[in-house]
Amino acid sequence: MSDEAREAVGDYKFGFHDPENATIRFDKGLSEQVVRDISELKNEPEWMTDLRVKAYHHFIQREMPDWGNCSELNNIDFDNVTYFLRSSDATENDWDDVPDDIKNTFDRLGIPEAEQKWLGGVTAQYESEAVYHSIREDLEDQGVLFLDMDSGLREHPELVKKFFGTVIPYGDNKFSALNTAVWSGGSFIYVPKGVHVEMPVQAYFRINAKNMGQFERTLIIADEGSSLHYVEGCTAPTYSTDSLHSAVVELIAMKGAKIRYSTIQNWSANVYNLVTKRGVAHENATVEWVDGNIGSKLTMKYPSVVLKGEGAHAEVISVAYAGAGQHQDAGAKVHHLAPNTTSSILSKSISKNGGRSSYRGMLQVTPKAHGCRSKVVCDALMLDSDSRSDTYPTMEVGNSTADLEHEASVSKVSGDQLFYLMSRGFSEEEAMGLIVNGFFEPFTRELPMEYAVELNKLLELEMEGSIG
Amino acid sequence: MSVTDEVLRVENLHVSVDDTPILNGMNLTINRGEIHVVMGRNGAGKSTLASVVMGHPDYEITSGSIFYMGTNIDEMTVFERARAGMFLSFQYPAVIPGVQVGTFLKKSVQSVHDEPLKGRAFRKELNAAMATLEMQKSVLSRYVNDGFSGGEKKRLEILQMLLLKPTLALLDETDSGLDIDALRIVAKGINSVAPQAGCLIITHYQRLLDHVQPHYVHVMIDGTIVRTGGPELALKLEEQGYDWLEEPQEVEA
Ligand SMILES: Nc1ncnc2c1ncn2[C@@H]1O[C@H](COP(=O)(O)OP(=O)(O)OP(=O)(O)O)[C@@H](O)[C@H]1O
Ligand SMILES: [Mg+2]
């Protein structure tokens, strides 16, 4: 960052531009010492160090999940992962090292070069930071806390301590244990009572893209009657030399609050993307996940909502796109713990060129939860006969008053559709692109405009060269 | 009529699907400005003719050829034919879920005319065409043919024809399922395109021909044209059906 830029943004809290923090990279592999070192380096309070260590021990003895794509999971070499990388390192990556196909995709998505570099973590972009900074000031005036997780812990230790790990305890699964042990980066957001926030989309993710580690940890608390729409991710491929990404995202919507968390992730094909996302909705609160998964070698991700208070509502809309050599194992989980809670799950997946997509869903209604309603719709579209799609829905219904609907469909692109579109001047690839975009439309229309446009373009690009 | 006015020539066309012959020696020439009507019983091969002219990959040409503007198009893909000015109004238009009509029309016109569209000019033209066809603007935000009534689908086909301005228009039962007003409106659309194009209208009913004046009426039986006449032939078919054509020599004599 230039001095001029630094001056403009003032005292910059993230620290990753601070020259003192330059290049700290741990050796590969994990041990209790590595975990302690991470914590010490960050100057964390003792309770966090202890939590990390406990989580580490749990991770070590916890079995790998015996469901999902276990054979692929067992290919992960935990000793060959770098568990801590100071963010400033990321800026030292050379844009020249980013593979050509990824650069091409940037170009063709119409993302200009300056931005490409920014997303690639090469250069700081003065403008975005300035924009970002002013947005932050705006939020601060309303009492909104919006920090990266490390700063959140430093500056608001009590609040973090109160909520961290309450939605997703380290013992939840092997990967939440791993994340708790080695987490770094991610976001911490607190929205005070009655405040309504629409997060700055592009500005934020561009900042955050740089700061994001492999094990980011996000905690969002929306206090009573407040609302937040948070957008994370990027349609451009996230190139990563490291192959394991394991994030944890915890959302807490207090009475009458509403949180919508939208993500599109497009990982490079070498990545294991194993993310735990869960939100708690208290009385009359709403938690919504809008979740798009493209790329990666294996994604296992099931955004969940715990409907804890009466009248709470959950909404999960997800899409997955599995190309050659990819397995998208995605879905949603909703737990109806309180009466008159409602949920709606829409899952759409596309598989192509031998890719595999699975829907894995869990719907639970506890005996106390009277008068619940839930609707689950999962649609799969297969673009060729080499590809695979399967569904694993689980229902545990302990209350007979529940009103539950489940619809599932698997379809193929029909010859009639292709002929029709081609007779209107579209090449076969363009026709496929249109059909695919149309299939994802119920998801795309939930996205901010610029994302929707980028996603559609990306899917059209994916269709190119795919027809034999 | 000069040679350059020839739009479509089908020569001794034999077509099979999965080794079942459907067209058995079709011959047909359509010149610019001409309206040809093809009638025939269900299953006679009328839609097959339209599909095969448009290049449908499922149909195999076992012998004969198709010429468009004097060129043999056997090797051209469907979209190349579309871009060259051929248009098919489908008997059963496909549903494309999630794709809005407005987006679809714009992209289609862009592909066929192969030039970036000026948004404003396009909207103006679209508005005019929709006004001609008495269509509601709200159609533009619906998904292509999704949940459309039979008549709505046909009207959308004609809207596409007006925007794409084809040189060859193949209209497969575009009049089926239309109410009386819609029939008149669709005919208006056809008449606006017809003078600059060659038109092939497939229909079961004479009533469209009250609004659209054909130059030739062909009768197709078992994949071949057995008789060609003027508009009076359509009237006769309406009255007498197809049976009399089965032993043409005797009846005619
Ligand atoms: N793709 C196909 N596969 C198998 N048979 C086909 C196919 N297309 C057409 N046929 C058969 O070829 C014959 C002619 O069909 P076509 O649709 O061309 O008839 P048509 O004259 O348009 O009839 P209609 O008036 O009912 O629309 C029919 O027997 C039909 O079943
Ligand atoms: Mg037909």
Query: What would the pLDDT profile of A228-248 be if each residue is shown by its tens digit?
Result: 988 876 666 666 655 788 999
**Contact residues on chain A for B79, CB-CB shorter than 8 A:** 422-423, 425-428
Give the model's confidence band at A88: pLDDT under 50 very low, under 70 low, under 90 confident, else very high.
very low
Give the model's confidence band at A135: pLDDT under 50 very low, under 70 low, under 90 confident, else very high.
low
Percent of chain B with pLDDT over 70: 96
Q: How many domains does chain B have?
A: 1
pLDDT of residue A2: 38
Structural domain boundaries, residue B185:
3-94+166-246
CA distances B170 to A56, B84, B173, B191, Å, are 70, 14, 10, 13
Give the model's confidence band at A85: pLDDT under 50 very low, under 70 low, under 90 confident, else very high.
low
Is A437–B108 a contact, with Cβ atoms under 8 angstroms apart? no
Q: How many domains does chain A have?
A: 2
Give the model's confidence band at A119: pLDDT under 50 very low, under 70 low, under 90 confident, else very high.
low
Cα–Cα distance measured from residue A458 to residue A294, given in angstroms and rounded to the nearest whole number: 10
SS3 B241: coil
pLDDT of residue A3: 40
Give the model's confidence band at A153: pLDDT under 50 very low, under 70 low, under 90 confident, else very high.
very high
Span A54-82, mean pLDDT?
Answer: 89
pLDDT of residue A215: 87
pLDDT of residue A50: 98
Smallest Cα distance from B65 to chain A, Å? 20
A434 touches chain B (CB under 8 A): yes
Residue B111 resides in a domain: no
Asked if pLDDT for residue A127 goes beyond 60, the answer is no
Written as six digits, the tokens of B233 are 């032939």
Q: A383 versus B245: which is more confidently predicted?
A: A383
- The answer to which of A210-224, A368-382, A396-410, B116-130 has the lowest mean pLDDT is A210-224
Give the model's confidence band at A313: pLDDT under 50 very low, under 70 low, under 90 confident, else very high.
very high
Give the model's confidence band at B197: pLDDT under 50 very low, under 70 low, under 90 confident, else very high.
very high
The finding on whether B223 has its CB within 6 A of some atom of ligand 1 is: no
Span A18-32, mean pLDDT?
Answer: 60
Q: Which of A282, A301, A320 is the last residue of a domain?
A: A301
Residue A361 resides in a domain: no
Residue A397 resides in a domain: no
The finding on whether B17 has its CB within 6 A of some atom of ligand 1 is: yes
Span A326-341, mean pLDDT?
Answer: 96
Residue B153 resides in a domain: no
The chain-wide mean pLDDT, for chain B, equals 92
Is A426–B160 a contact, with Cβ atoms under 8 angstroms apart? no
Residue B185 resides in a domain: yes
Asked if pLDDT for residue A219 goes beyond 90, the answer is yes
Is B93–A420 a contact, with Cβ atoms under 8 angstroms apart? yes
Cα–Cα distance measured from residue A434 to residue B57, given in angstroms and rounded to the nearest whole number: 20
Residue B147 resides in a domain: no
pLDDT of residue A366: 97
Find, in chain A, the residue whose alpha carbon is nearest to that of B106: A424
Q: Ligand 2 centre and the CA of B92: distance in Å?
A: 9
Q: Are residues A276 and A419 in the same domain?
A: no
The contacts found for B38-42 with CB under 8 angstroms, 24 or more apart, are B38/B200, B38/B201, B38/B202, B38/B203, B38/B218, B38/B219, B38/B220, B38/B225, B39/B202, B39/B203, B39/B204, B39/B217, B39/B218, B39/B219, B39/B220, B39/B234, B39/B237, B40/B219, B40/B220, B40/B221, B40/B242, B41/B221, B41/B242
Span A354-375, mean pLDDT?
Answer: 95
Find, in chain B, the residue whose alpha carbon is nearest to that of A445: B98
Give the model's confidence band at A1: pLDDT under 50 very low, under 70 low, under 90 confident, else very high.
very low
Q: In angstroms, what is the C-alpha Rg of chain B?
A: 18
Q: Which of A271, A301, A331 is the last residue of a domain?
A: A301
pTM (predicted TM-score)? 0.85
Q: Which of B47, B170, B175 has the most ligand 1 atoms within 8 A of CB, as the residue to mutate?
A: B47
Residue B27 resides in a domain: yes
Q: List the 407-426 stretch of A: residues with Cβ below 8 A of B.
A: 414-417, 419-426
Q: Are residues A20 and A142 in the same domain?
A: yes
pLDDT of residue A56: 97
Residue with CA at minimum distance from ligand 1 atom 5: B17
Smallest Cα distance from B94 to chain A, Å? 5
Structural domain boundaries, residue A426:
414-468
Q: Which of A266, A301, A336 is the last residue of a domain?
A: A301
Give the model's confidence band at A14: pLDDT under 50 very low, under 70 low, under 90 confident, else very high.
very low
Asked if pLDDT for residue A5 goes beyond 60, the answer is no
Cα–Cα distance measured from residue B79 to residue B111, given in angstroms and rounded to the nearest whole number: 9
Span B206-212, mean pLDDT?
Answer: 92
Residue B231 belongs to domain with CATH number: 3.40.50.300
pLDDT of residue A237: 63
Span B167-190, mean pLDDT?
Answer: 93
pLDDT of residue A92: 40
Residue B112 resides in a domain: no
Q: Are residues A292 and A422 in the same domain?
A: no
pLDDT digits (tens, 9 = 90+) for B74-127: 999 999 999 999 999 999 999 999 999 999 999 999 999 977 777 888 999 999
Span A293-304, mean pLDDT?
Answer: 92
Residue A261 resides in a domain: yes
Span B12-33, mean pLDDT?
Answer: 96
pLDDT digits (tens, 9 = 90+) for B70-84: 999 999 999 999 999
Q: Are residues A418 and A296 in the same domain?
A: no
Q: Are residues A421 and A296 in the same domain?
A: no
pLDDT of residue A105: 67
pLDDT of residue A77: 85
Tally Cβ neighbours within 10 Å of residue B120. 8
pLDDT of residue A160: 97
Out of A415, A427, A438, name the one closest to residue B99 (CB): A438
Is A419–B108 a contact, with Cβ atoms under 8 angstroms apart? no
